A and B are shown apart, each in its own frame.
Chain A
């Protein structure tokens, strides 16, 4: 069974600090996909990144970076030089590569609420 754990319920940082959001997953599939979504106060989920299980290269996009480590089943997200606009709830999610239903259902963690204090 698939499971995603985001142990950090809430994090507060002062603007310009770096912050890392943790994500640990469980799956018996050898092929799977990992995602991060951002949910600002407006509520809409914004897609940030997708990673497949065969690609363990870290990725950097501006102030955002992701560290995927299969050995520890983790897919952590770091924001460098945080800004007030980064305040949101961040969700990590997992999908099986080929679902039994063909629907590629997403399994979400419970989210981490990040507050960046000016």
Chain B
């Protein structure tokens, strides 16, 4: 069966520091991968998605970036965090067209 992992689970970072969040999927091949952000008390905002290795599409211009170095690995990065980057970051995967997106456990990021 497929599983999706995210780490770290929680992170507290100072403003201006770098960021690296990792998402990995097991049990499937060539999934679509997604990064979402949920600000406190808000809905989900799609940040990036990837349909294959090295292919990244950005939905929202910001100081975040994403990379997909391997088929089942998706990384969210920033060179310098802003206060507004605080939130709950969720990774999701999908196989099939169309199909359902399944979400990871999330990373709660607090920027101080």
What residues of chain A have their CB less than 8 Å away from a CB belonging to chain B? 33, 35, 37, 42-47, 50, 52, 91, 95, 97-98, 101-106, 108-111
- The range of chain B's interface size is 20 to 34
A101, A106, A110, most chain B CB atoms within 10 A: A106
Instruction: Chain B residues near A91: list those with CB within 8 A.
Output: 43-44
Across the two chains, which residue of chain B brings its CB closest to A32?
A: B98
* Residue B103 lies at the interface, judged by CB distance under 8 Å to chain A: yes
A-B residue pairs, 8 tightest by C-beta: A45-B103, A110-B43, A108-B44, A43-B106, A44-B105, A103-B49, A104-B98, A108-B43
* Residue B57 lies at the interface, judged by CB distance under 8 Å to chain A: yes
* Bound: A43/B9 CA distance, A: 11
CB distance from B7 to the nearest CB of A (A): 14
